[in-house]
Amino acid sequence: MEVFDLIAAKGETGIKYAEILKLKSKIKQNTLKNIRDDLQRLGLVEYKSPILKINSDLLGQTHSDSEIANYLANILNEHIVIKEIYQNNKPGTMMTQHQLHKIIANLYNLSVDNRTVNHYATRMISWFYFAGLLEKGAGNNIKVPNGTSKQKGKRKNEEHQQLSLF
């Protein structure tokens, strides 16, 4: 969320991509490109080279993580992985990481053992937790929340640090 915060702080004027590269020099250029692409796919930012700006729908709504989480929840509620999970699991239901991998593999027509499946799962789960659509269950399990998720609007989770980069 550090990169998102940089962009959001610039408001409707935005920030040059090259400026982010300078400010976040510890982040590899490919990683930063992936972050930019994810933020864009999630509808959080708009990118018109060379400027990145916060999505106009979010202007003035980024004062708290709960506002951002609510915005993301509305978008991610339509994600095919969340739809599949909700269709087959009632609130309060636990699922394993392997079950999530199987869902992703099936939806994207990949082998469960494919590295891409793990990559997708790692990136998605952080956003699903932050949006409050899933929550960390006992052990390494994933829980379909029964009401408001414990992780909604929380940036860091010991086992899902990926979100902190965004």
Q: What is the pLDDT of residues 25-69, one digit of tens each?
A: 888 888 888 889 999 999 999 999 999 999 988 888 777 888 899
Starting at the edge strand found earlier in the chain, the sheet holding 15-16 runs: 15-16, 51-54, 45-48
Reported pTM: 0.84
As a whole number of angstroms, the distance between CA 58 and CA 71 comes to 8
Helices and strands in the chain: count of H runs, count of E runs? 8, 6
Contact 128, 152 (CB under 8 A): no
pLDDT digits (tens, 9 = 90+) for 116-144: 999 999 989 999 999 999 999 999 899 99
